Amino acid sequence: MSTFRPLLARASNATLVAMAVAARLRSGETLGDRVIKVDHSGEHGAVCIYSAQIWVARWRAPGLVAKLIHFRAHELSHRTRFGAELQRRGLRRCRSYHLCGAGGFVLGLVTGLFGGGAIAATTVAIERVVLRHLHEQIAALEKLDTEAAEALREIIHEEQEHHDRSFAQLPSHSWATKLVDGVVAASTEVVIWLGMRL
């Protein structure tokens, strides 16, 4: 069971207002439009992370390959879901799409080379940040854009599964795990921040 779940379930009004104000919306674009675009790019990044990790894990952590393939299938489904929502809204994908893909592949490759502990720490760090943002986004959108909020709700349980299963595999008291966690969580925050502004 995740220790983060109670924290993730609460989103402060100040954070939601800041999210709406910080997003540089283009003419005719809603906050829901921007969130779907950014989350679509994030799912593309996740697909690329898992693709690179699967490739390297066949050599460095073969016991994780089946789990990583399972997680990637979820992310592919999420990307498709958000892509369909973009198409329904007549929107192009976010400018951060290729940045997320390239950065995700490099991150997956590097963390995969460090083995199973780094792979698990990467998933935990990313999903901790992503889950917090998803809960905040849903709280901000549930009265403004019910379709966007529903698209986000559809993926939360799978993202939580990724977090919880990886958290259970983290090596305890490892400085390397703490380093990976800090760097990856900060990088994820930066990518989301950029996506909301590009």
Residue 24 has a pLDDT of: 62
Decide if 140 is inside a domain: yes
Residue 101: alpha-carbon gap to chain centroid: 12
Would you say residue 16 lies in a domain? no
The average confidence (pLDDT) of the chain is: 87
- φ, ψ (nearest 5 deg) of residue 15: -65, -40
Give the pLDDT of residue 74.
98
Closest CA to 170 of 102, 108, 121, 137: 121
More confident site: 196 or 123: 123
Residue 4 lies in a domain: no
Record the tokens describing residue 154, joined without a space. Answer: 């559809």
pLDDT for residue 12: 46
Q: What would the pLDDT profile of 1-24 be if each residue is shown by its tens digit?
A: 444 443 333 444 544 445 554 556
Closest CA to 85 of 133, 64, 77: 77
pLDDT at 110 over 60: yes
Residue 44 maps to a domain: yes
Q: Evaluate whether residue 185 is within a structural domain.
A: yes
What CATH number does residue 69 fall under? Answer: 1.20.1260
Residue 27, pLDDT > 80, answer no
- Let me know if residue 3 belongs to a domain: no
Helix 116-141 and helix 146-167: axis angle, to 10°? Answer: 160
Residue closest to 135 by CA, chosen among 9, 7, 2: 9
Q: Would you say residue 107 lies in a domain?
A: yes
Domain residue limits at 55: 30-197
> According to the model, what pLDDT value does residue 85 have?
97
3-state DSSP call for residue 2? coil
One DSSP character per residue, 30-51 reads: -HHHHHHHHHHHHHHHHHHHHH
Residue 1 lies in a domain: no
| Tally of structural domains, the chain | 1
CB 38 within 8 A of CB 195: yes
CA-to-CA distance for 43 and 72, rounded, in angstroms? 10
